[in-house]
Structure 1
Amino acid sequence: MDYIPYLTPYETPFYFILIGLFFIPSIILSLRGKRSMWYQNFLTILFLWISFAGPNMGQGMALIIYIVWQLLLTIIYFKYRQKNNKSGWFYLAVFLNILPMIIIKVSPFLGHQSALAFLGYSYLTFKAVQVVMEIRDGIIKEFKPTYYIQFLIFFPTISSGPIDRYRRFLNDYLNPPDQDKYVGLLGKGIQSIFLGFLYKFIIGYVLSTHLLTYVEGVALGGSHPIWGVIGYMYVYSMYLFFDFAGYSLFAVGVSYLLGYETPINFNKPFSSPNIKEFWNRWNMTLSFWFRDYVYMRLMFTLLKKKVFKSRVVASNVGYFALFFLMGIWHGLTWYYIVYGLYHALLICTNDAWLRYKKKNKEHLPSNKWTKALAIFITFNAVCFSFLIFSGFFDVLIKHYL
């Protein structure tokens, strides 16, 4: 082979062969309780080059421009914050943080793809916004450009998360695990990678290649299209979970091999007894990011400014704003927006039910059967949301109309 081809992270077995080969020196050093930063930097450059080489060289240049933009912006805001407590510049800094993402999202509607787009730009934006917000809150008291760059371009998670927190990452970066701890991380890392293979390359492959195609055919041309749509709803939901959870397991597992305890993204989400618990288990780092940096701050503002007298009303408005933003983040398409608003409605309804249940708990049964029913209802409500998210209703409308 004359060259290493362009490879999207974790999409082919060959990518893992490269990990197995190039991680050997790093693993040996870590088993001795050491970490070579120059070798980790070499791995970062190598795997970023692999991901952004070939036809995606333009994306690589966009990534470099993006890193420089966010670095300069954060340095300027940090220095400003050291001398000034005014909040107006904070909002400008956050807007400038997300400006590249806005341009990239809007560009297709203007008839072209932005040259600023690259693999993982949304997840890097979440990281960058987080740092500016924590500088503003006074939580980050010291800022070093080299640490910030390492945080942004940590290659195991660069394409689709999980979304780490700056201070948590920095603690791992500055404090390599000792020999005993790394042995445990190595074992968990290998286990996560093999479980990811099962999820993504076996279960996910069967679901997408065979079952999803079959139920789509039934829905679009079979004798029982309703059953085809129902089948598509469940199969697509399972595919979405196993594909995304498999990728997340890869990212977490590879992070462990490097001695970083990147947070997990999924924790048995389909066993959730209510929709709020589901979001505490599904794509957890994204969910918690929106909760901490959007919802909680919006709630604080609404209550502090006394925009609404009722905390319940403020909470419901906050949920609709939160999930509307989450919907348009996925894409400026009607079904993504409806998906977000549907989840806001589910959470508001769930909160109303929990308030009612608390007031009438002596009259309502609570046992394993009611919990099983709650899990069943939540599971089906979530699967229907994924049917909306898939865009299949758009396909159905165009096919039958």
Structure 2
Amino acid sequence: MSWPHVIPYANPIYFLWLAVALLPMIFMLLIKGKRWGWYQSLITLIFLYISFGGKYWQQGLALIGYVIFQTLLVWCYHHYRQQKNASGIFYLAVALAILPLTLVKVIPFVDGGAAAIFGFLGISYLTFKSVQMIMEMRDGTIKEYHPLRYIQFLLFFPTISSGPIDRYRRFEKDLLEPPTREVYAGLLNRGIWSIFLGFFYKFILGYYFGQVWLPLLNKSLMHQGFFSWSLILYMYCYSMYLFFDFAGYSLFAVGVSNLMGYDTPKNFNKPFISDNIKEFWNRWHMTLSFWFRDFIYMRLMFTLIKKKVFKSRIVASNVGYFALFMIMGVWHGLTWYYLLYGFYHASLICLTDAWLRFKKKHKKQLPSNKFTKALAIFLTFQAVCFSFLIFSGVLDQLFFHH
């Protein structure tokens, strides 16, 4: 019998292999409150092979090279930082950490085939972990470096392809201190629930929105053009597909982590009940939002304020938002609609900030009740769905390829 080679959580057979592999680990944690380190390493290698072996062998080689490169880079930075915490070396280390991802994003514009040399599924999320490690070493919050623990952090297979993006110190604590049997019983219950909910999201709702209705709407849209009801229906359908597909995947990743005794942070928290765009980003793809906030926005704000680049904190904040979301747009891809997506969200957040300041100043004059709350949620939902219409790339088809 040959080993299957499938993308994580994309095929029912992947879950069959997961069930078989995780049973011994579940048994040990439930009965003895212990975790076999060697067994976790073994199933990690097996599932990495399932994801990156066979026809994906080029990705597998790229992953091996990437992990060796990042492990040595972080070791070199940690060793040098103990001698001298120089800013130049820090910026060089960060630049080198994001270099493989930069090559993967840029090379397709020169030679699409060459991107396979550097790229593999999940390279963005591993890069976020690597940069985080270097930055927290610079801050002094990570004082010791254990290469094997770092490799386990990078290659934690439930989250390797698309997150959630964990934090090293939180992961290390779970790695070194398995949960008690009582705590694990709760994790096991949550994990099973997350996996079943993930099936409902991804394979039922996500399937119908993405594989059944979306192609029909796209076909209708190509015939009717830009000014049509099909475009509005496409906007809502794509938004629902994007949420249920990605939230379903994230539930699988968190659920499998829970079964292994890891309390991996969740990625979505009812984002469509947000009453403004800032709250939306605190509920949507949360680990990515918080990563960008902590490691890009807050550091940029600190630099702008410390060096007094702008007299007004409001101006500095707005510049920070635009820098943050333009970087996020570039991360998604070097296309005009991803850049517009970033610009659009930065504009919405700046407008939201202005509105919240105005609202605070005129608190007594402005009504605040269930109706205004519902209206705010409705308007935020429309604004978010329109941003996903931009993100989908369908406008590019209509404007330039119709």
Q: Which residues of structure 2 form unaligned runs of 5+?
A: none
Instruction: Find 1:160's aligned residue among 141, 159, 162.
Output: 162
1:323-342 correspondence runs (5 A): 323-342=325-344
The residue identity in structure 2 corresponding to 1:128 is S
Q: Which runs of 4+ in 1 moved over 2 A?
A: 222-225
User: In the alignment, is the contact (CA less than 8 A) between 1:193 and 1:253 conserved in 2?
Assistant: yes
1:192 is matched with: 194
Partner of 1:18: 17
Task: Please list the CA deviations of residues 26-52 of structure 1 after superposition, one character each: whole Å capped at 9, or x if unmatched.
Answer: 111011211100110011000000001
Give how far 1:218 is off: 2.3
Question: Letter of the aligned partner of 2:170 in structure 1?
Answer: R
CA distance, structure 2, for counterparts of residue 359 and residue 17 of structure 1: 57
Contact map agreement 2:225 2:398 (CA 8 A) in 1: no
Q: How does 1:1-400 map to 2 (within 5 A)?
A: 2-32=1-31, 33-113=33-113, 114=115, 115-222=117-224, 226-400=228-402
Deviation string 1:247-287 (CA, Å, 9 cap, x unpaired) is 00000000000000000000000000000000000000000
RMSD (CA atoms): 1.0
User: What TM-score do the two structures reach when normalised by structure 1?
Assistant: 0.98
SS class of match (2:293):
helix
Aligned equivalents of 1:50, 1:28: Cα separation in 2: 23
Identity %: 63
Between the aligned partners of 2:215 and 2:64, the Cα distance in structure 1 is 39
Deviation at 1:173, TM superposition (A): 0.3
Q: Distance in 2 between matches of 1:52 and 1:86?
A: 38
State the aligned residue count: 399
- Distance (Å, rounded) in 2 between the aligned partners of 1:44 and 1:98: 24
After the TM superposition, which of the residue ranges 342-351 and 353-362 deviates more from structure 2?
A: 353-362
Q: Residues 219 and 225 of structure 1 are in contact (CA less than 8 Å); yes or no, is this contact kept in structure 2? A: no
Q: Kindly provide the amino acid, as one letter, of the partner of residue 29 in structure 1.
A: M
- For 1:317 and 1:330, the matched residues in 2 are separated by 20
- Give CA deviations for 1:295-340 in whole Å, capped at 9, x if unaligned: 0000000000000000000000000000000000000011000000
User: What is the letter of the counterpart of residue 118 of structure 2?
Assistant: L
Kept after mapping to 1: 8 A contact 2:226/2:398: no
Whole-angstrom distance in 2 between the partners of 1:398 and 1:140: 49
Whole-angstrom distance in 2 between the partners of 1:88 and 1:397: 45
Structure 1 residues 53, 368: closer, same or farther in 2, change over 3 A? same
Q: Structure 2 CA distance, aligned partners of 1:161 and 1:355? A: 34
Cα displacement string for residues 97-140 of structure 1 (whole angstroms, at most 9, x for unaligned residues): 00000011001111223211001000000000000000000000
Structure 1: gaps spanning 5 or more residues: none
Deviation, structure 1 residue 214 = 2.0
Q: Distance in 1 between matches of 2:390 and 2:85?
A: 44
- How far apart are 1:398 and its partner, in Å? 3.0
Give the Cα separation in 1 of the matches to 2:162 and 2:27.
Answer: 28
Note the alpha carbon deviations across 1:59-83, whole angstroms, 9 max, x for none. 1010010000000000000011111
With structure 2 as the length reference, what TM-score do the two structures score?
0.98
Task: Kindly provide the CA deviation profile for residues 165-208 of structure 1, in whole angstroms up to 9, marking residues without a partner as x.
Answer: 00000000000001111111111101000000000000000111
Higher mean alpha-carbon deviation, 45-54 vs 205-214, is at: 205-214
Change (3 A) 1:227 1:174: same
**Which amino acid in structure 2 is aligned with residue 217 of structure 1?**
K
Question: 1:225 offset after TM fit, Å?
Answer: 5.2
Secondary structure of the residue aligned to 2:363 is coil
Letter matched to residue 266 of structure 1: F
What's the offset of the Cα at 1:399? 4.5
Deviates more, 1:230-239 or 1:205-214: 205-214
Secondary structure in structure 1 of the residue aligned to 2:228? helix
- Any conservation in 2 of the 1:218–1:224 contact (CA below 8 Å)? no
Instruction: Determine if contact 2:7/2:51 at 8 Å carries over to the other structure.
Output: yes
Secondary structure class of the residue paired with 1:23: helix
| Cα shift at 1:224 | 9.2
